[in-house]
């Protein structure tokens, strides 16, 4: 038998890209490829790219330039660009970079096997069309070549695309309109994952709480899907991300109080605390509306940890607007946060507007991050002395150490031979570090 060809995928950006990279590896598994961890011995290299912020395309071109020596050493090496930069740039990548054999947009991965066959015949191809549901055509989790067991945590994409059109964001253009996968497909994939050792599933979508998949008896909401998933034996934990405040329905809020397997953690970006800026961003909610929503979530699940995204320096943002953001952060108390300086994305409405002074934006970002970091640290340190349930995922850096995640997604490490990968145990937290907690397993 011919030796298997090796596939190296480098993934940038969000968790959805991580999920897509796994599906691409499975699709190419059918064409005889096995994954490798290094580009040096690969027969195919795929860059799964992200277009969300600054100079995304330029970064991809320089990464491709760095692959030149590998291609010189191995003329049979095939190189592909996938993901959102591929979607946005299309043909241009082939024109600008002679090294590239395939450009495959984020909605076209089911075309990869035929593109690979063409690449081996020396033909270059570009596919960036939007189909109904790319996952309909991709092999499922049980496909040949997929490992029999896997990490105890997994992502599962249930919804893709976005119809919200926030004025700064490229997602509605790169991932297209909102599409939900049928509920039964999702359930089948979840059961397959659990059969392969997965204990925790994070449901993914750009607007995951806008999920409205076709299901038995009509359209299913995300809450309905979660309640059904909670009935899957062996699945211990359910999470979902990313949510939009306007799609946080009553039944989903209630699920946080009622579904034990639904973890007490919610990523709910607000972007700004100023109503004027929220309006300019086309967010269609106010700061007050967001704060009321957080109150309702905390009423349903008092220990829920809130995570968020912020943009500073959006066009038109004044000192006063920024102070409103700082105020909102003080009121919410975030357990986890991502904050960015606004970057103009070509093709989006905000790109036409005049930007704020870059030095002011830098200073605001520093102040916001200092506040968010302090909050995160305080919430994490407050766990010292408490007992947490930890799902162990992998060995830690120290000998004999295991690392896992608490229900609130804090990294927790223990040094104990009873700690087994894929198992949930009670851990008494004894100390906190910068990015993790340490503890001891509680007997019994």
Task: Choose the stretch contacting ligand 5AD; rule: CB under 6 A; options: 21-29, 210-218, 326-334, 342-350.
Answer: 342-350
Binding positions for ligand SF4, 169-228, rule CB under 6 A: 169, 171-172, 206-207
Position among 4, 18, 34, 52 found at the interface with ligand 5AD (CB under 6 A): 52
Kind and range of the H or E run holding 224 = helix 222-229
Q: Which is nearer to ligand 5AD, 343 or 436 (CB)?
A: 343
Q: Which is nearer to ligand SF4, 106 or 207 (CB)?
A: 207
345 binds, among ligand 5AD, ligand SF4, none (CB under 5 to 8 A by kind): ligand 5AD
Q: With binding defined as CB under 6 A, does residue 271 bind ligand 5AD?
A: yes
Q: With binding defined as CB under 6 A, does residue 165 bind ligand SF4?
A: yes
* Cβ atoms 328, 321 nearer than 8 A: no
Position among 155, 240, 322, 342 found at the interface with ligand 5AD (CB under 6 A): 342
Tokens read off for 10 = 């480098």
Number of neighbouring beta carbons within 10 Å of residue 344:
14
Q: With binding defined as CB under 6 A, does residue 53 bind ligand 5AD?
A: yes
Position among 93, 162, 193, 203 found at the interface with ligand SF4 (CB under 6 A): 162
Q: Which is nearer to ligand SF4, 21 or 272 (CB)?
A: 272
Q: Which is nearer to ligand 5AD, 182 or 355 (CB)?
A: 355
Kind and range of the H or E run holding 362 = helix 358-381
Q: With binding defined as CB under 6 A, does residue 164 bind ligand 5AD?
A: no
* Cβ atoms 314, 358 nearer than 8 A: no
Q: With binding defined as CB under 6 A, does residue 166 bind ligand SF4?
A: yes
Q: Is 120 exposed, middle or buried (0-12, 13-18, 19+ CB in 10 A)?
A: middle
Position among 59, 340, 371, 428 found at the interface with ligand 5AD (CB under 6 A): 340
What does each C-alpha distance from 201 to 245, 318, 377, 379 come to in angstroms? 22, 41, 26, 24
Per the listing, tokens 């799964």 go with: 48
Adjacent-strand bridge partners of 46: 9, 80
Q: With binding defined as CB under 6 A, does residue 389 bind ligand 5AD?
A: no
Q: Which of 188, 201, 205 shows the shortest CA–CA distance to 155?
A: 201
How are beta strands 159-160 and 179-180 bridged, if at all? antiparallel
Q: Which is nearer to ligand 5AD, 211 or 342 (CB)?
A: 342
Backbone angles phi, psi at 221, to 5 degrees: -85, 170
Number of neighbouring beta carbons within 10 Å of residue 172:
18
Q: Which of 87, 212, 108 shows the shortest CA–CA distance to 159?
A: 212
Q: What is the DSSP string of 242-297?
A: ---GGG--HHHHHHHHH-TTB-SEEE---B-S-HHHHHHTT----HHHHHHHHHHH
Q: Which is nearer to ligand SF4, 14 or 235 (CB)?
A: 14
Task: Choose the stretch contacting ligand 5AD; rule: CB under 6 A; options: 72-80, 295-303, 338-346, 362-370.
Answer: 338-346
Task: Choose the stretch contacting ligand SF4; rule: CB under 6 A; options: 32-40, 88-96, 101-109, 164-172.
Answer: 164-172
For the bound state, the minimum distance from the C-beta of residue 18 to ligand SF4, rounded and expressed in Å, comes to: 17
Plot region of 84 (φ>0 → left; ψ -120 to 50 → alpha; else → beta) = alpha
Rg (CA), the chain: 23
Q: With binding defined as CB under 6 A, does residue 164 bind ligand SF4?
A: yes
| Site residue total, ligand 5AD (CB under 6 A) | 12
164 binds, among ligand SF4, ligand 5AD, none (CB under 5 to 8 A by kind): ligand SF4
What mask, x for binding ligand 5AD by CB under 6 A, covers residues 295 to 314?
Answer: --------------x-x---
For the bound state, the minimum distance from the C-beta of residue 206 to ligand 5AD, rounded and expressed in Å, comes to: 9
Question: From CA 390, how far away is CA 97, in angstroms rounded?
Answer: 47
Binding positions for ligand SF4, 235-294, rule CB under 6 A: 244
Task: Choose the stretch contacting ligand SF4; rule: CB under 6 A; options: 61-69, 167-175, 227-235, 419-427.
Answer: 167-175
Q: Cα angle vertex 219, ends 218, 225, to 5°?
A: 115
Q: What is the DSSP string of 119-131?
A: HHTT--EEE----
Position among 19, 109, 135, 168 found at the interface with ligand 5AD (CB under 6 A): 168
Adjacent-strand bridge partners of 35: 7
How are beta strands 305-312 and 125-127 bridged, if at all? unpaired
Task: Choose the stretch contacting ligand SF4; rule: CB under 6 A; options: 67-75, 92-100, 163-171, 333-341.
Answer: 163-171
Residues within the interface to ligand 5AD (CB under 6 A): 52-53, 168-169, 269, 271, 309, 311, 340, 342-343, 345
Residues within the interface to ligand SF4 (CB under 6 A): 162, 164-166, 169, 171-172, 206-207, 244
């Amino acid at each position: 038998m011919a030796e298997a060809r090796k596939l190296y995928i480098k993934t940038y950006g969000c968790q959805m890209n991580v999920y897509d990279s796994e599906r691409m590896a499975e699709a190419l598994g059918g064409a005889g490829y096995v994954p490798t961890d290094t580009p040096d011995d690969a027969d195919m290299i795929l860059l799964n790219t992200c277009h969300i912020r600054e100079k995304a395309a330029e970064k991809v071109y320089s990464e491709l330039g760095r692959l030149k020596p590998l291609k010189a050493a191995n003329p049979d090496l095939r190189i592909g660009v996938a993901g959102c930069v591929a979607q946005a740039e299309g043909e241009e990548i082939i024109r600008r970079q002679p090294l590239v054999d395939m450009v495959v947009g984020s909605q076209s991965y089911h075309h990869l096997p035929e593109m690979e066959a063409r690449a081996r015949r020396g033909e270059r191809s570009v596919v960036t069309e939007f189909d109904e549901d790319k996952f309909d055509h991709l092999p499922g989790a049980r496909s040949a070549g997929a490992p029999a067991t896997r990490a105890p945590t997994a992502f599962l994409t249930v919804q893709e695309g976005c119809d919200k059109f926030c004025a700064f964001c490229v997602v509605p253009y790169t991932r297209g309109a909102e599409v939900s996968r049928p509920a039964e497909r999702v359930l089948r994939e979840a059961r397959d994952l659990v059969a392969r050792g997965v204990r925790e599933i994070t449901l993914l979508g750009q607007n995951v709480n806008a999920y409205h998949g076709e299901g038995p008896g009509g359209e299913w909401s995300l809450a309905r899907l979660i309640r059904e998933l909670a009935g899957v034996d062996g699945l211990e934990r359910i999470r979902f991300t990313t949510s939009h405040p306007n799609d946080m329905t009553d039944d989903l809020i209630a699920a946080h109080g009622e579904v034990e397997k639904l973890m007490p953690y919610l990523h709910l970006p607000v972007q700004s605390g100023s109503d004027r800026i929220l309006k300019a961003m086309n967010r269609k909610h106010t700061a007050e509306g967001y704060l009321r929503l957080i109150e309702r979530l905390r009423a349903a699940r008092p220990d829920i940890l809130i995570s968020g995204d912020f943009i500073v320096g959006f066009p038109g943002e004044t000192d006063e607007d920024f102070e409103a953001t700082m105020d909102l952060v003080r009121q919410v108390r975030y357990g986890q946060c991502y904050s960015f300086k606004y970057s103009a994305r070509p093709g989006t409405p905000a790109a036409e507007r005049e930007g704020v002074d870059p030095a002011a934006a830098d200073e605001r970002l520093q102040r916001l991050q200092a506040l968010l970091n302090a909050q995160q640290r305080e919430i994490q340190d407050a766990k010292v002395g408490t007992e947490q349930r930890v799902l162990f995922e992998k060995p830690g850096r120290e000998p004999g150490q295991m690392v896992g995640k608490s229900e609130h997604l804090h990294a927790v490490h223990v040094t104990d031979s009873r700690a087994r990968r894929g198992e949930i145990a009670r851990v008494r937290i004894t100390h906190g570090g910068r990015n993790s907690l340490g503890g001891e397993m509680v007997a019994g």
